[in-house]
Structure 1
Amino acid sequence: MNCQPWLKTLVYKCTNINHSCLLCSESAEQHYPLCVACEQELPWLDEQCLRCALPLPMDGLTCAQCSRRPPAFDQVVAPWHYGFPLDTLISRFKHNSQWPLGRLMAEMLGQNLHHRYLEGLTRPDLLLPVPLARRRLRERGFNQASMLARWLSKALAIPCAERLLLRTRDTPAQQHLDARARRRNLRHAFALAGEASLEGRHVAVVDDVLTTGATAQAVAQRLRQAGARRVDVYCLARTAKPGQA
């Protein structure tokens, strides 16, 4: 699939355009460290649910789950579906501390959002990264969602409150749980710092990947309880349903 037209406006903060592609190590020959061939290989997400961005066979539809039970968040924005080679990039960023990959993906997400704002998507008042469980934060040494939110905040000129949303208890890793177990796992897992109020505010939650939406749902419910008027979710990628390409 060809790269998206909004991406052509991305000017990476580098004075020399002859740097190497972060995916294949060949000369990028662009203003950002990604060659044209690798850019075209990214799994761009076009046809998707209007609410949760689940990959669908046609555009302009709402998935069955969002139709039956509308989520607490209003809209998910994700440029890609979670497939090769993006899954490798995210893994290298999260588990191998390859931060330049995270920054590149964050800037591309930022350009996607700039384009969406021009098309009518409402800009949020505040960015809130999904907090990481303390045990995993100690193991990893950083919260990838916080880093993405920080880069997005700079690119979009939207304030980021890294310590407003708290993880109140460590929970088992989500990746090996089904949707129902994920929801149970996240009950009462999030809180707001102090007596923070979001009355009437539009906030965007930042994370790397949205899988079942259980984390986004739990966070959005807590933010709604704090008075948030609208809750969007900004992430790099959206997974498909199990067994779906």
Structure 2
Amino acid sequence: MHCQPDHKHQVYIWLKNEQTCLICDEATHSRHCVCNVCETELPWLLAACESCALPLPMDGLICGQCLKKPPAFKQVIAPWTYSFPIDSLISRFKHQARWPLGQMLARLLGQHLQHRFDTTELPRPDCLLPVPMARKRLRERGFNQAHMLARWLSQDLDIAVDEHLLLRPHDTVAQQALDAKSRQRNLRTAFALAANADVTGRHFALVDDVLTTGATAHSLARLLIHAGARRVDVYCLARTPKPGT
């Protein structure tokens, strides 16, 4: 008696399947489903503010806004600027439910973070926290892209993720339609911590898709720091440039 059936036809082996680049549709052997050419030509963020990751002409600087009013978070890590084709890939992931695109970007972000952990003094966080989404928008979209990114990063980096520690009990106006000051006012009472949240002395990393003004990240980081967190970083796919640049 054989444990496996006697099958003489060719067996399809997934591990040897040639992948297709999700950007240019050309064949690739990369496990991230992006070819070397497309990966190289992505808008990599090479010089940025050491605090908020705002694109700057030179590396190793802190932008004027962070010098004037330091944010509650310690550091933003973003591999790319929010420009083509990253802006299109993120938009299709968020608004068209193109989850393979989101997973590809999350895998590349995880690779970027692991490199930073290994080669710089960037400390590994104790836990990943996806930025919570307003309930109305969650019902409309059907999923929170930050939750999905955090789960994929958790798998690749072996860092715990807590999707329930941060709450968004009140729906607010969509941030995209507001200027920087209006965004801050809009978020003053938008977030809360779950009951009995374990925060004291811990290092957290907020996970989101794009950082624009940093108002959401600042509000959440301030909430965590005031509750006793040791440090809060921000991991996102892309950072928008300063308006007009």
Q: Is the 8 A contact 1:51 1:66 kept in 2?
A: yes
In the TM superposition, what is the alpha-carbon distance from 1:17 to its structure 2 partner?
5.6
Distance 2:209 2:140 in 1: 18
The 5 Å alignment of 1:1-245 reads 15-16=15-16, 18-118=18-118, 119-244=120-245
Distance (whole Å) between structure 1 residues aligned to residue 165 and residue 234 of structure 2: 16
Contact 1:197 1:226 in 2 (8 A): no
Cα distance in 2 for residues equivalent to 1:82 and 1:49: 15
**How many angstroms apart in 1 are the aligned matches of 2:150 and 2:30?**
25
The CA deviation at 1:226 is 1.3
Q: Which digits, 9 at most, give the CA deviation of each residue in 1:130-164, with x for residues without a partner?
A: 00000000000000000000111111111100011
Query: Structure 1: how far apart are the matches of 2:226 and 2:110?
Result: 28
RMSD: 1.1
> What's the % identity of the aligned pairs?
63
- Secondary structure of 1:175's counterpart equals helix
Change beyond 3 A, Cα 1:67–1:17: farther
For 1:197 and 1:112, the matched residues in 2 are separated by 28
Aligned-partner residue type, residue 126 of structure 1: C
Q: Which structure 1 residue ranges, 5 or more long, are not aligned? A: 1-13
- 1:162-219 Cα distance to aligned partner (Å, 9 max, x none): 0110002001111111100100111111111112131110000000000000000010
Distance 1:234 1:213 in 2: 12
Q: C-alpha separation between the residues in 2 aligned to 1:84 and 1:202?
A: 33
How far apart, in 2, do the equivalents of 1:232 and 1:226 lie?
15
Letter in 1 for 2:64: A
Distance 2:198 2:222 in 1: 14
Secondary structure, counterpart of 2:160 in structure 1: coil
CA contact (8 A) 1:41 1:85 kept: no
Q: CA deviation at 1:15?
A: 1.6
Greater gyration radius: 2
Residue 6 (structure 1) aligns with? none
How many pairs does the alignment contain? 231
CA distance in 1, matches of 2:24, 2:155: 27
Greater shift, 33-42 or 202-211, is seen at 33-42
Q: Is the 8 A contact 2:138 2:144 kept in 1?
A: yes
Q: Which moved more, 1:14-23 or 1:68-77?
A: 14-23
Offset of 1:75 from its aligned partner?
A: 0.2
